[in-house]
């Protein structure tokens, strides 16, 4: 007891001292504040992240030192007092420790802050960077490391950011999955011990786990209430989000590139810029966090060109797969235009002159039209499509090759391979990944996309796919002592290539596809207009998959396609109306042979597409509120989209469970004007399926929010799309 008292009083004394020498560092958005402090001995402390504070409260926080813990702003191995750390560096002389002091703080007029830190012994520096986005309440935090030593240093751990979170009834929402079940929501309380969310795929960030989380501070996560933090790592490769809870007081959250198994070797005089972590905070639950991310993505260039409308497309994949034949494709194009389509996308199978791509085991890299399948080339198809007043798009998978390809025969050294070991193959038993750490390979990728687009300036859309993970860990372009950099440098190389492509082709729309939804992330989305959410187009399961994706990404950048019934993935038979109602909540498309539809279905599709054109601005520019969760007990799922001026809203409602004596909940809207009167109109009426509301019925906003709309939702796979207009 006596000993504890002594320690406390010493710390208290220090507390008085560092109050005297402290320098406050605040990063602010419209509604939030992140607060750090430079204290005695130029140490950096993390103080606070949450809503903006009055001066009086901020001062109290800075004074109020809890002597039981020491929190570093960016804890490093060697001086974090045994606590978990964000960075470990092995110096050129073998020393394994870091001891950072603050050397200066740069504040910019836009509110950005750089905290410059340097090791007290070695000439290495670590710059902590913070960038606030005022309107969307997002703060980015990341690190730049500079090696000023004579030899290379080795980073064994290099997280981009550290955030301590006070313990309490704290819950984590994260997204987990697999091919065809991406972004499945998992929610659990944070407990003592370590929870690491990570990916080791190498090429794709997120088939299994996703690099974004939400942290609910007020117990079980709710959609529209509760203090909630969101974090998204802006990185396309292997990542680690780690919650390390040792002491009773805080959960320590670390986010960054996964350092296992290799770490990073940083050359003398070089700077390593680590990926950014975007944080946001809302007191309006998960929905508030999502809306912040949506607004940030839309207004800050975090998704490419969110200002332009996304075209309604027909993709050939589930219609014909690799079995491309010119007359069939031309018929698809014609049928699509008759339905009101705007863009036709020719998927996999169109290329391969020496080796035809009839099976998914050849030809990647040989990006020349297979004239046996398309005698008039893609030029012919482009013309057919344009003659119908539509745009043309094309599938590519530029980072890959196959054993049976001219590319691999010519450049066997361009693939990643682990020294003399036999190659391991991905998709089709022959697919290999090109070495994007190699500048020559990057030039090849850039030139191939450039020559496709420059040779066919009519191509308005590319689908950039990635179907195999990074299998063979070894690069012939990196020196023997830099092999550990492959995972990081691959993605740096990919991003460099994308930047060069974007500089030359700013107007082409590009979809990010990762063998389904395995590769969308905020590291890549600044270069992509949209992403493919999943290869699972079963509309019922898509409600869950899209729900997960919408937690961090705005709906109109989510590719959502109506496909055939029975579903090719699950065999489920789902009515066409449900399929359209689900696809229309994002970027609408179709992925089937229009000729396989009945006349009634085609007629319905034509009207639904026309409806979508009308509601598209609201899907794109409105705010999304998730209402009834498919994960909940109501047996329903519903979402609302509200226009910026509140004058219009759309309600999507889906029946997810169906059984006798089922209680159908009312669909309560949110964020309407309680005193305004709204008229309702039901869209997408399918012949023979009853209306759920009478068109022109009027309700007050208060009624809609407190009592809610009564919809019958009687049959299995019942769904409803209601437009509300403020009178």
Which residues between 235 and 274 bind ligand DGJ (CB under 6 A)? none
Closest approach of ligand DGJ to the CB of residue 179, in Å: 9
Nearest residue (CB) to ligand DGJ, 524 versus 709:
524
Helix (H) or strand (E) holding 282: strand 277-282
Closest approach of ligand DGJ to the CB of residue 517, in Å: 8
Closest approach of ligand DGJ to the CB of residue 222, in Å: 33
Q: Is 162 in the site for ligand DGJ (CB under 6 A)?
A: no
- Closest residue to ligand DGJ using C-beta atoms: 348
Nearest residue (CB) to ligand DGJ, 179 versus 631:
179
Nearest residue (CB) to ligand DGJ, 184 versus 679:
184
Only segment of 9-17, 382-390, 512-520, 574-582 that touches ligand DGJ (CB under 6 A) = 512-520
Question: Distance (Å, rounded) from C-alpha 108 to C-alpha 131?
Answer: 10
Question: Distance (Å, rounded) from C-alpha 361 to C-alpha 348?
Answer: 12
Only segment of 166-174, 501-509, 510-518, 538-546 that touches ligand DGJ (CB under 6 A) = 510-518
Q: Binding-site residue total for ligand DGJ (CB under 6 A)?
A: 12
Closest approach of ligand DGJ to the CB of residue 459, in Å: 16
Look up tokens 């996309």; give the residue.
Answer: 449
Q: Is 515 in the site for ligand DGJ (CB under 6 A)?
A: yes
DSSP one-letter code for 217: S
Q: Is 395 in the site for ligand DGJ (CB under 6 A)?
A: yes
Closest approach of ligand DGJ to the CB of residue 541, in Å: 15
Which residues between 340 and 369 bind ligand DGJ (CB under 6 A)? 347-348, 360
Nearest residue (CB) to ligand DGJ, 268 versus 428:
428
Nearest residue (CB) to ligand DGJ, 335 versus 360:
360
Which of 532, 544, 553, 699 is in the footprint of ligand DGJ by CB under 6 A? 532
Closest approach of ligand DGJ to the CB of residue 360, in Å: 6
Q: Is 530 in the site for ligand DGJ (CB under 6 A)?
A: no
Question: Distance (Å, rounded) from C-alpha 228 to C-alpha 237?
Answer: 26
Catalytic status, residue 465: yes
Kind of pairing between the strands at 100-107 and 400-402: unpaired
Instruction: Give the C-alpha distances (Å, rounded to integers) separating 348 from 352, 384, 507, 536.
Output: 11, 19, 22, 17
Question: Distance (Å, rounded) from C-alpha 506 to C-alpha 594?
Answer: 32
Catalytic residue among 465, 489, 529, 538: 465
Nearest residue (CB) to ligand DGJ, 221 versus 319:
319
Q: Is 317 in the site for ligand DGJ (CB under 6 A)?
A: yes
Question: Distance (Å, rounded) from C-alpha 395 to C-alpha 532?
Answer: 12
Show the tokens assigned to 3.
């000993």
Q: Is 465 in the site for ligand DGJ (CB under 6 A)?
A: yes
Instruction: Give the C-alpha distances (Å, rounded to integers) separating 615 from 146, 221, 518.
Output: 50, 30, 29
Only segment of 225-233, 491-499, 513-521, 616-624 that touches ligand DGJ (CB under 6 A) = 513-521
DSSP per position, 299-335:
HTTSSTTTTSPPPPEEESHHHHTT---HHHHHHHHHH
Closest approach of ligand DGJ to the CB of residue 467, in Å: 5
Question: Distance (Å, rounded) from C-alpha 524 to C-alpha 526?
Answer: 6
Nearest residue (CB) to ligand DGJ, 140 versus 360:
360
For Cα atoms 84, 85, 89, give the angle at the middle one, nearest 5 degrees: 140
Nearest residue (CB) to ligand DGJ, 234 versus 348:
348
Bridge partners of 634, per DSSP, are none
For Cα atoms 313, 315, 319, give the angle at the middle one, nearest 5 degrees: 135
Which residues between 23 and 62 bind ligand DGJ (CB under 6 A)? none
Question: Distance (Å, rounded) from C-alpha 70 to C-alpha 47?
Answer: 10
Helix (H) or strand (E) holding 19: helix 2-21
Which of 535, 581, 601, 623 is in the footprint of ligand DGJ by CB under 6 A? 535
User: 405, 365 in Cβ contact below 8 A?
Assistant: yes
Using CA atoms of 586, 591, 593, 596 in order, give the dihedral in degrees to the nearest 10: -60
Nearest residue (CB) to ligand DGJ, 102 versus 343:
343
Query: Which conformational region is residue 327 in: left (phi greater than 0), alpha (psi within -120 to 50 degrees), or beta?
Result: alpha
Which residues between 110 and 129 bind ligand DGJ (CB under 6 A)? none
Show the tokens assigned to 252.
């320590």
Question: Distance (Å, rounded) from C-alpha 566 to C-alpha 246?
Answer: 50
Q: Is 513 in the site for ligand DGJ (CB under 6 A)?
A: yes
Catalytic residue among 137, 360, 489, 535: 535
Question: Distance (Å, rounded) from C-alpha 478 to C-alpha 471?
Answer: 17
Question: Distance (Å, rounded) from C-alpha 703 to C-alpha 716?
Answer: 27
Q: Is 201 in the site for ligand DGJ (CB under 6 A)?
A: no
Q: Is 512 in the site for ligand DGJ (CB under 6 A)?
A: no
Only segment of 13-21, 258-266, 288-296, 511-519 that touches ligand DGJ (CB under 6 A) = 511-519
Closest approach of ligand DGJ to the CB of residue 241, in Å: 25
Catalytic status, residue 307: no
Nearest residue (CB) to ligand DGJ, 360 versus 648:
360
User: 86, 76 in Cβ contact below 8 A?
Assistant: yes
Instruction: Give the C-alpha distances (Å, rounded to integers) separating 107 from 24, 131, 192, 469.
Output: 12, 10, 37, 41
- List contacts with ligand DGJ (CB under 6 A): 317, 347-348, 360, 395, 465, 467, 513, 515-516, 532, 535
| Catalytic residue list | 465, 535
């Amino acid at each position: 007891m006596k000993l504890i008292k002594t320690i406390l009083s010493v710390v208290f004394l220090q507390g008085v001292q560092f109050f005297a020498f402290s320098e406050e560092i605040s990063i602010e958005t419209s509604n939030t504040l992140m607060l750090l402090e430079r204290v005695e001995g130029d140490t950096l402390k993390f103080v606070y992240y949450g809503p903006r504070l009055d001066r009086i409260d901020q001062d109290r926080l800075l004074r109020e030192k809890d002597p039981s813990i020491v929190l570093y702003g960016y804890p490093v191995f060697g001086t974090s007092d045994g606590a978990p750390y964000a960075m470990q560096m092995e110096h050129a002389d073998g020393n394994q420790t870091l001891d950072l002091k603050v050397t200066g703080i740069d504040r910019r007029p836009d509110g950005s802050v750089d905290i410059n830190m340097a090791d007290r012994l070695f000439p290495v520096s670590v710059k902590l960077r913070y960038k606030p986005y005022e309107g969307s309440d997002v703060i980015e935090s990341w690190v730049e490391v500079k090696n000023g030593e004579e030899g290379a240093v080795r980073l064994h751990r290099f997280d981009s950011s550290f955030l301590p979170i006070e313990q309490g009834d704290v819950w984590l929402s994260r997204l987990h999955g697999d091919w065809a079940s991406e972004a499945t929501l998992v929610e659990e309380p944070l407990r003592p011990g370590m929870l690491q969310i990570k990916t080791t795929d190498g090429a794709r960030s997120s088939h299994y786990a996703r690099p974004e989380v939400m942290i609910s501070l007020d117990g079980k996560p709710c959609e529209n209430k509760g203090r909630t933090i969101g974090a998204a790592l802006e990185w396309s490769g292997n990542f680690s989000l780690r919650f390390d809870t040792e002491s009773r007081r805080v959960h320590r959250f670390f986010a960054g590139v996964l350092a296992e198994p290799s770490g990073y070797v940083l050359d003398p005089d070089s700077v390593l810029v680590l990926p950014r972590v975007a944080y946001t905070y809302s007191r309006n639950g998960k929905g508030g966090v999502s809306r912040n991310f949506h607004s940030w993505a839309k207004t800050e260039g975090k998704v490419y060109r969110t200002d332009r409308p996304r075209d309604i497309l027909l993709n050939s994949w589930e219609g014909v797969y690799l079995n491309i034949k010119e007359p069939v494709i031309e018929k698809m194009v014609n049928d699509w235009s008759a339905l009101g389509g705007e863009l036709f996308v020719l998927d996999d199978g169109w290329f391969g002159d020496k080796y035809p791509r009839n099976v998914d085991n050849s030809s990647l890299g040989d990006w020349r039209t297979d004239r046996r399948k398309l005698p008039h080339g893609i030029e012919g198809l482009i013309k057919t499509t344009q003659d119908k007043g539509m745009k043309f798009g094309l599938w590519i998978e530029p980072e890959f090759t196959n054993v049976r390809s001219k590319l691999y025969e010519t450049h066997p050294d361009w693939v990643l391979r682990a020294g003399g070991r036999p190659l391991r193959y991905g998709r089709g038993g022959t697919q290999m990944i090109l070495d994007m750490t190699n500048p020559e390979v990057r030039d090849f990728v850039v030139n191939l996309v450039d020559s496709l687009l420059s040779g066919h300036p009519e191509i308005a859309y590319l689908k950039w796919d990635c179907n195999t993970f990074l299998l063979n860990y070894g690069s012939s372009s990196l020196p023997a002592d830099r092999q550990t950099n492959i995972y990081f440098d691959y993605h740096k190389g990919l991003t460099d290539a994308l930047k060069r492509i974007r500089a030359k082709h700013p107007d082409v729309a590009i979809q990010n596809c990762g063998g389904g939804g395995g590769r969308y992330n905020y590291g890549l989305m600044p270069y992509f207009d949209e992403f493919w959410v999943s290869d699972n187009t079963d509309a019922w399961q898509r409600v869950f998959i899209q729900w997960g994706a919408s937690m961090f990404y705005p709906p109109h950048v989510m590719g959502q396609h109506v496909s055939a019934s029975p579903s090719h993935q699950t065999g489920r038979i789902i009515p066409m109306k449900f399929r359209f109602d689900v696809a229309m909540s994002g970027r609408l498309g179709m992925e089937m042979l229009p000729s396989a539809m009945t006349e009634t279905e085609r007629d319905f599709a034509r009207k639904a597409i026309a409806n979508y054109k009308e509601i598209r601005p609201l899907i794109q520019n409105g705010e999304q509120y998730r209402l009834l969760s498919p994960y909940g007990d109501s047996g329903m799922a519903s979402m609302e989209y509200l226009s910026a001026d509140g004058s219009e809203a759309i309600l999507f409602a889906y029946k997810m469970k169906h059984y006798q004596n089922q209680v159908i909940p009312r669909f309560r809207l949110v964020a309407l004007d309680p005193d305004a009167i709204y008229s309702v109109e039901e869209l997408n009426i399918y012949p023979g399926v009853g209306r759920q509301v009478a068109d022109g019925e009027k309700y007050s906003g208060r009624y809609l929010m407190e009592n809610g709309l009564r919809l019958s939702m009687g049959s299995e796979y019942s769904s409803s799309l209601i437009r509300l207009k403020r009178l």
